[in-house]
Structure 1
C-alpha cells in the first residue's frame, strides 16, 4: 500500500480493548505471514517489499534480513499469543505472502508454520499456502514444505507471453511455470496459478494465450486480477511519460469476460470475482476468511490484522519491525476500532464479491429498495434474489462497485 492510513496509537504491548478481547474466539482465526523480500522489484508493484540492495548490509536485529526473518516472525507470534489469550481458537488457515516467501529457505518457512502450530494449534484440515515465483522453488524445496505441513502453493505465472512479462519486469522463464507445477504435483501440493490482465501493450490474443496456457497445466485454482497502475511505481512513471499506454476499462472488461468464459468452459467455477476453482474444495479458504469477515493476525513488516472489530497495521520497514519485537514491544504502527456502520459497509463490499452472495437481510430497508433496479439492470441475479441472496451476474461482477454504492447509498 502506498500510504499508511491514519489511526490511533497502539499500547506498547498491543493489548486489545475490552470489547474486542471479549469476542476473541467468536470467529475462526487465520494467520497471514508477510515475507517482504524480493529478488527484483517488479515495475508495477507497490507492495511493501525490499530487494537485498534496498536493505543494504544484513545487520540489525533478528528478522531484518532473509536469513533471520523467521526469528522475527516467531517473536510476533509470541506477542499474538499474549494479546489473543487462551480463548484464541486453533488456526484454520495460514498464508505466506509477500514479496516472495520462497526466497526464504524452505526450512525457515516450516519453522514459522511450526511456530503457529505450537502456539495456537492448527484446526483439522487446516489450509496452509505459500506464494511462489516459478524460479524460486524446486521439487526438493516443495517437498520440504509439504512434509512440514503446507497444503497449497500459489504460483505467480502472471502471463505466458514473453513481451508481457518483460513489461511487468517479471524475470521468470514462462517454461518454468510448467516445471514448478509439475514439482508441486509430485509432492502432493495443491496448485493455484495467478494471472494478471490489462498489462500495457497486452493484446486480447496475448491474454487468451495466457489463460489457455494456464488451463493446459490443469491447476486446482486460478486467480486473475486486473492490473492497477499505482502511483509511485516505475510503471506509473512510464505511463505518465507516454512510454506505455494506459489500459482502458473496456479492454479489461473484454479480458475478464474472456477469462471467465474460458475457465467456465474448462469446468472451473467462479466463487469470488477474481477467483475460480476446479471444485468447491479447491477454493482458497484463507481468502474466503477475509471476504467473510473472520479474524486474522498479520505477521511481518506492514502486515494488517483484524480481530473482533479492531484493525491494525504494522510498521513497514523490516529493521523497525524487528527492532520493536526485539525490544519486547508491539510492531503495530496504528489501529482503529471499527464502528457498526464501517463493519456493515465492509460486509456488503466484500460478501457481494462472492458467488455465495450477500444475504438480502444483511442490507437495510432502504438498500433493499435498490435491489429491483439492480435486477432490472442485470447486475444482480433475479432468481437468487427471490431466494434471499444477492448474487452478481457476470455483468454485475464487472460493475461490482456500482452495486455496492447502490446498496449502501440507498441505505444511508
Structure 2
C-alpha cells in the first residue's frame, strides 16, 4: 500500500523549498519497470505478470510512457536541473523489456538532463532474462553496472522462494556480463529462507564469490503480508524465519566475504573496491535527490517526497492526458529529515556525525559505545560507526539515537 500523503498537483510542480539548493546535492534517476514473467512467493513489490496487467497497459509501449515522465521531470525541475550522476533501472524485471527500450529511456534522460562524467547506470536483471547479445547491447548503450538476482545456489531454497532460474545460471550470467564489458556486477542474495541450512548459505556465498562479482548484497528474508510465502507460513506449511538464525547467517556472510577481500560499506552490502560500491544506493542513504519514474515509483528532491500511482494503466493514462502520474506527496519537516538521516547514515560504514544526534539522545549514544555497539576510534573522531555486533542490532541502536 502507498501512504496517504497530501494531494500532488497535476502539473507535478514541487514546492520552492524543494528546489532550493537543487544541484548542490547528488541527483539520480530511478526507473521502475513493473513487469515480471512470474511472481516470486516472497515479493510484495509493485509488479505485474502478463495475466495481472489488464487492459490499458503493455510492456510494448512502456518505454515511450516513461520517456513522457522524463520530459515532465525536466519541465518541473527547470533550468536548475542538475546533470544525472546515477541511473538505476529496478523492478520487477527491467530486462524483460528489449535492451533497445532500456537504452532509449537512458538516452532520453541523458538528452533532457545530461549525464555527469563517469555516471553510474545500473539495471537489475533476473539471470534467465538476459543473453550475451542482450548484455552487449546494454553495455554499448551506456550501462555500466548490472545486478543479478541470484538469491541462492541451492535448488530447494530457490523452490521455496518461487525462483525459476537454475542454481548455475546466475554464475553464467556474471561471466557473460564480464565478457560484455561490465566491470561492475552485483549478486543479490537472500538468507534465512525456510529449509536453508548453514551449509546451504555457505555454499551460496562460495558460489557467488567464485562467479567473480565485485559487489554482493545479502538480505535476510522478510515474510511480507499478502504474499504467497506469508500464506504458506500462516498455514503451517513453512516455519517463520528465526531472528537468531538470521544473525548467525549474517556473521557467516561477513566472515566469508571479508576473507575474500570484500568490505561492508552498508549493513547489507559489500564491495571488493570503493569503485564497486553502488553509488545510486549511496545517494538514497545520504539523502540525495532523485526522480522516481514509473508506476508506484518514489522520488525525493530537497525534503519533498512523492509517489506515483501504482497501476501501469493508470500511470500511462495520466501521462497521456498531460498530467503528472504523482498520486501524493509529503514535505518532510526538519525533525523528520533529521530522524531519517540518523536511520539511514548509521547503516553506513562511514557512520553518522555525532553532531547529527539530538542532545537528548547523547546518553543513549554513550550506552551504545559502552555496550560495544559503536566503534571506539571513530567515536573519538566524532562519528558513530556500528561494530559488527552493532550491525546486528542496527534498528534498535538507531531508534535509541533518534531520541
Q: Please say if 1:212 is aligned against 2:210.
A: no
Q: Please say if 1:265 is aligned against 2:256.
A: no
Aligned to 2:36: 38
Aligned to 1:400: 394
| Shift of residue 24, structure 1, vs aligned partner | 2.1
Aligned to 1:349: 343
Counterpart-to-counterpart distance in 2, 1:255 and 1:18: 46
Aligned to 1:332: 326
| Shift of residue 406, structure 1, vs aligned partner | 1.3
Secondary structure at the counterpart of residue 121 of structure 2: strand
For residues 217-228 of structure 1, the aligned pairs below 5 Å read 217-228=211-222
Aligned to 2:6: 8
Aligned to 2:236: 242
Aligned to 2:280: 286
Aligned to 2:134: 141
Secondary structure at the counterpart of residue 239 of structure 2: coil
Secondary structure at the counterpart of residue 130 of structure 1: strand
Worse-superposed segment, 357-366 or 97-106: 357-366
| Shift of residue 218, structure 1, vs aligned partner | 1.7
CA displacement, residues 354-387 of structure 1 (integer Å, 9 cap, x when unaligned): 0011011111222223222101111110111001
| Shift of residue 23, structure 1, vs aligned partner | 3.0
Among 56, 61, 67, the residue aligned to 1:68: 61
Q: Please say if 1:232 is aligned against 2:226.
A: yes
Aligned to 1:111: 104
Aligned to 1:360: 354
Counterpart-to-counterpart distance in 2, 1:407 and 1:349: 9
Q: Please say if 1:95 is aligned against 2:88.
A: yes
Counterpart-to-counterpart distance in 2, 1:10 and 1:402: 34
Among 107, 130, 146, the residue aligned to 2:123: 130
| Shift of residue 21, structure 1, vs aligned partner | 2.4
- Across the two proteins, how many residue pairs are aligned to each other? 402
Among 148, 162, 166, the residue aligned to 1:169: 162
Q: Is the 8 A contact 2:285 2:344 kept in 1?
A: yes
Q: Is the 8 A contact 2:300 2:306 kept in 1?
A: yes
Worse-superposed segment, 19-28 or 220-229: 19-28
| Shift of residue 97, structure 1, vs aligned partner | 0.3
Aligned to 1:254: 248
RMSD: 0.8
Counterpart-to-counterpart distance in 1, 2:401 and 2:307: 29
Counterpart-to-counterpart distance in 1, 2:48 and 2:12: 26
TM value normalised by structure 2: 0.99
Secondary structure at the counterpart of residue 93 of structure 1: strand
Secondary structure at the counterpart of residue 223 of structure 2: coil
CA displacement, residues 100-147 of structure 1 (integer Å, 9 cap, x when unaligned): 000000000000000110000000000000000010001100010000
| Shift of residue 88, structure 1, vs aligned partner | 1.1
Among 294, 297, 318, the residue aligned to 2:291: 297
Q: Which runs of 5+ in 1 are unaligned?
A: none
Aligned to 1:47: 45
Counterpart-to-counterpart distance in 2, 1:161 and 1:167: 10
Q: Is the 8 A contact 2:174 2:212 kept in 1?
A: no
Secondary structure at the counterpart of residue 85 of structure 1: helix
Worse-superposed segment, 128-137 or 176-185: 176-185
